[in-house]
Structure 1
Amino acid sequence: MTAPLRVGVVGVGIMGADHAERLASRIAGADLVAVADADVDHASEVAARHPGVRATADAFDLIAADDVDAVLIASPGFAHEEQVLACLAHGKYTLCEKPLTTDSASALRLVEAERDKVGRPLVQVGFMRRFDPEYVELKHLIDSGRLGRLLVLHNIHRNKTSPPWFRDSSSIVNDSLVHEVDVCRWLFAEEIETITVLTPATSGRAPVGLRDPQVAIFQLAGGGMATTEVFVNSHVGYEVRCEAVAELGSATIGLGQNLLVRRDNGYGGHIPDDYRVRFARAYDIEVQDWVRACRRGTVVGPTTWDGYAATAVAEAGVASLATGRPVRVELADRAAARHLCPEQGA
């Protein structure tokens, strides 16, 4: 493809509007041509910020439009299955924000639809940490073997406050912990076999009914292990860290040490308020790589299988949350995804 990739964005809430601005102003080789949202007034407001962009209330009209080459889906997760199926039916490259879908059965249906109806990858799932420079450097270090075999990962994932749609404790598993699910599968290059979700004493600042923080333990297929603390009402800021412990050493990312200031008998740096600041560069790289891949006729990054596997682990995590006991992750035969040959991914 020599002409710019004409992109439509479905769902222009916080993340979708951020992606629309990114596509319109910072991504090379792409033109933002349309946005869709059930709140058509809001869609029109977002479109008006970018000359020549049209707004619609109908996501399926946008997906079917002849002047839309590729679709970025940032709508609520419950809408993803039908929207991704429409993209597959029209042969449109798709970047679908996580979750791929909200349950493993529907996610597997997308894996199978991509295999049976298209026969090649068209969908990338928006686990943007695979594009974050620090995570990429850590992945390269692990894969190089310089630290020996990876044994343990320790993750910390903290939000300043939880978003209003976190109505129950399972939201922490499905919407926050799921990022570490994908990170661990990617860094170990293995599937997660069991997950245990534990709930220590709940913070007095957490909303009523939300068990926060939570601690998850993953057992990987090759014997490795990962721990993750998720604390979505830390009242400090947005912090994401990862320590990889291997046979010959360890490595830590997310310490926020790009700018370390010493003054008044103290030292420190800035902790951002939310993910759009912490992972701004990762989102830019993710979308830019997606656009370049679409123009080449390929797919990079997490596949529908990765989206399905993450959802299956999260499902098991919600079951473990109810009991505090380990729950085995049940996955379909990986042969269902043999058609997926991404340039990058687990």
Structure 2
Amino acid sequence: MTVRIGLIGAGGMGRAHLARIQDDLSGGEIVAVADINPDAARSAAEPYGAKAYDSSDELINDPDVDAVLIATFGKVHAPDVIKAIEAGKYVLCEKPLATTAEDCIAIMDAEQRAGKRLVTVGFMRRFDAAYNEMKEVLDSGEHGQVLMVHNRHRNPSVPENYTSRMAIDDTAIHEFDTMRWLLGEEIVKVRVDRPKPTTHRFGHLIDPIVVVAYTESGVRIDDEVNVNLQWAYSIECELVLETAAVRLGDQERIHIRDSHGNRNAMCQSHIDRFQAAFNREVQEWINAVAEDRHTGSTAWDGYAATCVVDAAVKSHEDGGSPLVDVELIDKPGFYA
């Protein structure tokens, strides 16, 4: 069957998903687009012969829409996710699932009332080949326990409307979910350190920061968030085991060796770096919807990541306080 998908959000991420579904993937078709800007919805929908809606309600209630892909701003995700659940439709929601723990809990409550997992959160790094190779090494047990993980999340630059809070709830949230998935346990404590600031930041921005976190078993995680690096979009991860260190080495594009030395081109954006992971994530979601099953991260994963964000933001806003506890409700058996 062809999965008929309704897209909510006709901005850059929404249009990137639309293009990949229509041009690169199989088994899915965008049949409707909704946006609060009617012109944006129409301009995105018309080239593909899709319907254009002014409201998400109309799209979710359209009987010709089998599943919903949400690519709007995080603070407006929850109502649409809940409506899609209540309509019995699978939903792929770009991160974050919601911007408050309360909204995430409301989503989980709605999903449990529905009696089936319908929500996948768009944490695409779970579908990245290199991270999966790293996880295979860890899960094999060949090199003992994991002791610590070092992460670097570096951007060449960010726009002026990027805020210090976004360094956590828009940027570091990727590492929060990836570490939970990679290590298979919850993050329970977190703090934010403030190194010497870069002169390349906008005056209102605290940059860089280092997020330090600890898991249930005591694994130490650090994450350098450095978003005005000037030269590349560089995602790095080193997993330190008892008898080995596993380092993410997939930043290399091509090597050039000449009189200037041995160098390689670097990724310049998240689309550039994670295009294959995005494609795999959405393709697997389409396949799962066609088979009436869930895939990928759950609403619980979205909730847990948001709770880590909340604790890190508290530390950050307190000027880099001591470790802050991550407050989680007991995990429902529904998500076991």
TM range (shorter): over 0.9
User: In the TM superposition, what whole-angstrom CA distance separates every residue of 1:82-116 from its partner, at most 9, and x where no partner exists?
Assistant: 0001001100000000000011111111112111x
Alignment check: 8 A CA contact 1:193 1:220 kept: yes
**Which residue of 169, 181, 188 corresponds with 2:183?**
188
Tell whether 2:214 aligns with 1:216. Answer: no
- Match for residue 172 of structure 2? 177
Shift of 1:255: 4.3
TM-score, length-normalised on structure 2? 0.97
Matches of 1:56 and 1:263, distance apart in 2: 55
**Which residue of 150, 160, 166 corresponds with 2:156?**
160
Shift of 1:162: 1.3
Matches of 2:260 and 2:74, distance apart in 1: 47
Alignment check: 8 A CA contact 1:158 1:234 kept: yes
Tell whether 2:269 aligns with 1:268. Answer: no
When residues 258 and 160 of structure 1 are mapped into structure 2, their CA distance, relative to the original with a 3 A threshold, is closer
**Which residue of 110, 115, 130 corresponds with 1:113?**
110
Alignment check: 8 A CA contact 1:193 1:221 kept: yes
Alignment check: 8 A CA contact 1:195 1:328 kept: yes
- Partner SS for 1:339: helix
Matches of 1:180 and 1:81, distance apart in 2: 22
- Match for residue 10 of structure 2? 12
**Which residue of 65, 83, 90 corresponds with 1:86?**
83
**Which residue of 189, 193, 198 corresponds with 1:198?**
193
Matches of 1:91 and 1:164, distance apart in 2: 40
Tell whether 2:204 aligns with 1:225. Answer: no
Matches of 1:175 and 1:55, distance apart in 2: 28
- Match for residue 46 of structure 2? 48
Alignment check: 8 A CA contact 1:120 1:340 kept: no
Instruction: Report the AA paired with residue 137 of structure 1.
Output: E
Shift of 1:233: 1.2
Between the aligned residues of both structures, percent identity stands at 38
Tell whether 2:130 aligns with 1:138. Answer: no
- Partner SS for 1:279: helix
- Number of residue-to-residue matches in the alignment: 334
**Which residue of 29, 32, 50 corresponds with 1:31?**
29
Displaced runs of 4 or more, over 3 A: none
- Match for residue 97 of structure 1? 94
- Match for residue 75 of structure 1? 72
- Partner SS for 2:143: coil
Shift of 1:257: 2.7
User: In the TM superposition, what whole-angstrom CA distance separates every residue of 1:104-129 from its partner, at most 9, and x where no partner exists?
Assistant: 111111112111x2111000000000
Shift of 1:340: 2.9
Matches of 1:39 and 1:322, distance apart in 2: 34
Matches of 1:66 and 1:32, distance apart in 2: 14
Matches of 1:277 and 1:315, distance apart in 2: 29
Shift of 1:246: 0.3
Tell whether 2:124 aligns with 1:128. Answer: yes
TM-score, length-normalised on structure 1? 0.94
Instruction: Report the AA paired with residue 266 of structure 1.
Output: G
- Match for residue 298 of structure 2? 303
Shift of 1:322: 2.2
Matches of 1:153 and 1:260, distance apart in 2: 27
Instruction: Report the AA paired with residue 108 of structure 2.
Output: V
Shift of 1:146: 1.8
The residue correspondences of 1:306-317 to structure 2 (distance < 5 A) are 306-317=301-312
Matches of 1:39 and 1:246, distance apart in 2: 50
Matches of 2:276 and 2:310, distance apart in 1: 30
- Match for residue 344 of structure 1? none
Alignment check: 8 A CA contact 1:153 1:226 kept: yes
Shift of 1:205: 1.1
Q: Which runs of 5+ in 1 are unaligned?
A: 342-346
